[in-house]
Structure 1
Amino acid sequence: MPLPNVLIIGAMKAGTTSLYMDVADRRGAFLAQDKEPHALCSDDVLTPAGLAAYAANYANAPEGAICCDASTGYAKRPDSEGIVERAARVLPAGFKAVYMVRHPIDRIISQHHHEYVDGIVGPQIDREVRRHARYIHYSRYAYQLEPWLAQLGPDRVRVIRFEDYVSRRAETVADLLGFLGLAADHGAGGEARVYNKSQGKPVSGPRWDAFRQSSAYRRWLRPLAPPKLRLALQRLILPKATAQLAPPTEETLSFLREELRNDVGLLERTLGRSLQWSGFETAHSTAEK
Structure 2
Amino acid sequence: MEGEEKRYDPKDTTLKFVKRKDEVTGDDDPDVLRVEMSCGHAVDPNSLTLWCRSLIDQSHFTFHCPAEKEGTKEKCNKQWSYVEVRRHALLTDEEQMYFEEKVATLAAAKYCEYKWCPECKSCIERKDLTNLSVRCTICTTEKRKSYEFCWQCMKEWKGRAPRSDRCDNEDCTNIQLETLINCGTKILEYSNITCPKIRACPTCGMLIERKEMCKYIICTRCKVEFCFVCLQSKLICSKSSNYSNACAKPVAPKQTSIPAWNRTSNSNASSAAESSWCTIS
TM-score (norm 2): 0.21
Q: Which structure has the higher relative contact order (CA within 8 Å, separation 6+)?
A: 1
Greater strand share, 1 or 2?
Answer: 2
Q: Which has the larger radius of gyration?
A: 2
